[in-house]
Structure 1
């Protein structure tokens, strides 16, 4: 409606101006009057032609230097414009319609305390002298692109005459997808002593193997191993007896990412937690056979990382587009999730918030889960005094919780202590 009213207004303006000049020449008469009329007549006819010029039949396309990049990288974009009829145009303005997901920057984690640095108004408008050219190219560069699955929707083209009397614009639906994956950090993991049924021994927390504990004896059955024979009971009962084992421990390592909406939003902290999650999974996959990744938000997603590369690709793709959502606090969502998971032996939790209920949940989990490691990722200025007290309580109780602030996140490789 707005475009139609503008068209009618411009048409009336040109026709009225033409009528005024013609009337002036008719009533005034003489060489000067007709000279002015015929001098302005080509300009008015040009404006009339520009008004009816079909802008919507241009061919517009876009070329991206890369379509899959890492967070923080840059790309070069080139917009190609082609038209059939070379009507002389004074200038044209080309604007890229930026997606809302690009109104952020991927900053270094040294700015973990300054999330306002992340938000920007990313625009691209360029003016180009067109003249009689049939083909045009507009190039620009996008820097520090944020993680996510971004879709470019269209290009706006605006043309005008030299006086600005007639203006026309059209939005071309040019769609292109750009995938910005989270970075993978180099991580160094230290060891610690953990407790088992047989006593305490020094092992890597993430390299534990299945353990079986004998709970009784029974008669030998075909298929039992020779090493399972209980010789004392065999001699005593005069029949072959074998050891009976408790149900085998699960060797799976569960990595849980907090994807719930926090009370105090810090976009950079969430980006750091996603990057840490992918980096940990990539690191641990080399040393641990089975890894289960669970993301807890509005809904819970579970991924298994085994020997196939399919799981790796699914995890990377999902972590590319994940954003915090859900109304339930992470501590409550975590409690509900773990009630359904009966057999867990090793657990790594990555979160951007802690509270009393979270501490209570961890305290209860320690009764049935052998190893729990927590990574609390947050800017130092965002950690309240109450949260510092909770972290201190958890450490005092023997919980392996580690606070990763801007000081730790900027180190390379990232030192992850689990002592």
Structure 2
């Protein structure tokens, strides 16, 4: 409210100065006379009159309409965003200055000249301009509103108004077609004929352990909680299912975008085969999608992949006792750098899972260092299958283990 009052006061003061300038020119012309002074007066008069009319022109009647491309936006896509400004007044305006306010995502990274434009308008009641954005990054891209400024010929009178025009673009990860006819065997960690999932879960409690974030409420041992006040989770004799679990490493990695793209591609390919798979987003926040079968469930997982951001956390503390990992019979772990922490977590699951396969996304062979080789060799010794897959070429996925 204060800023709006300041803008109105500033415009009014500017108008008074312009009118005062014309009055002074008229006064000198009347008193002194002469061609030059009257010429100056008549030269200033049209500009001053236009400034007065511009000051009286309403600017609050302007509306902004944005038109984004229809359909799903995908990472790496080029788009053209159309912006339309409409007004009701017939008053001619030489030009307007439009500037995007508080842009988020990719829009905040665009050059200032794209976010601030001078648009000629004249007698038009509708004008258009465009934003061309190449190579869209994954994530949520937002525009909130536009600040519209009108000025007279010489910049004496200036009026500003903020027009809200929110738009949110969700850019999904790039999905690469994967061609494989077989899913991972739960017995050998190889590709064999897929079987329909069958849940194998017993209600026989074998032991209790410390509660871990992500555990179901139904697994909590309420009797021990009533006695000790500490949350503990029940462990069952059989608490595994036949679903493969795709696990995305949420740690900050050198090729995190490649990890997300590979994960989305796998989920999409499995869905097309009408198979069932679980998905765990193992980041700072534990997000688990159990038994993805329908398109609706797939879209929820892809939406999560569209907005996920990497972070830093201690994998052992957060996921060593994670029930989603412990209950999975087959784990496909996708990362760009296998760390010692994640190796320890996966090694603890070797006895519980029939197979654990790690896919390491790299740009090229130059990203392979001695410490990476050492950790990967340790993983293989502990019974974990490790494969390298290169960013931009996921066609090798699913072919490494075929006989």
1:6-405 to structure 2, matched below 5 A, reads 6-30=10-34, 32-66=36-70, 68-97=72-101, 99-103=103-107, 121=111, 123-188=114-179, 204=191, 207=194, 250-260=241-251, 262=252, 266=254, 269-285=255-271, 289-325=275-311, 327-338=312-323, 342-379=326-363, 384-404=369-389
SS in 1 for 2:162: strand
Q: RMSD across aligned C-alpha pairs, in angstroms?
A: 3.4
Structure of greater Rg: 1
CA distance in 2, matches of 1:39, 1:192: 83
Against the structure 1 CA distance between its residues 295 and 312, is the aligned structure 2 distance closer, same or farther, given a 3 Å change threshold? same
Quote how far apart the aligned CAs of 1:373 are.
0.7
- Quote the Cα distance in structure 1 between the aligned partners of 2:326 and 2:31: 99
TM-score normalized with structure 2 length: 0.76
Question: Do the aligned partners of residues 177 and 210 (structure 1) sit closer, same or farther apart at CA in structure 2, a change above 3 Å counting?
Answer: closer
Cα offset, 1:156, TM superposition: 2.9
Q: State whether residues 345 and 371 of structure 1, in contact with CA within 8 Å, keep that contact through their aligned partners in structure 2.
A: yes
Cα distance, 1:121–1:299 mapped onto 2, change above 3 Å: same
What TM-score results when the alignment is normalised by the length of structure 1? 0.74
State the Cα distance separating 1:369 from its structure 2 match: 1.4
Segments of 5+ residues of structure 1 without an aligned counterpart are 105-118, 213-245
Where does structure 2 lack aligned partners over 5 or more consecutive residues? 200-236
1:301-346 CA-to-partner distances (Å, cap 9, x unmatched) read: 1113444322112112222222224x423454331424x6543211
Q: Name the SS of the counterpart of 1:153 in structure 2.
A: strand
Q: Is 1:62–1:77's contact at 8 Å kept on the other side of the alignment?
A: yes
CA distance, structure 1, for counterparts of residue 282 and residue 41 of structure 2: 75
Give secondary structure in 2 for the equivalent of 1:25: helix
**1:10-36 per-position Cα deviation (integer Å, ceiling 9, x unaligned):** 224313312321331233134543443
C-alpha distance in 2 between matches for 1:313 and 1:25: 75
Q: Report the Cα offset of residue 348 of structure 1.
A: 1.0
Q: Distance in 1 between matches of 2:60 and 2:289?
A: 46
More contact order relative to length (CA 8 Å, sep ≥ 6)? 1
From the superposition, tell whether residues 148 and 192 of structure 1 become closer, same or farther in structure 2 (CA, over 3 Å).
Answer: closer
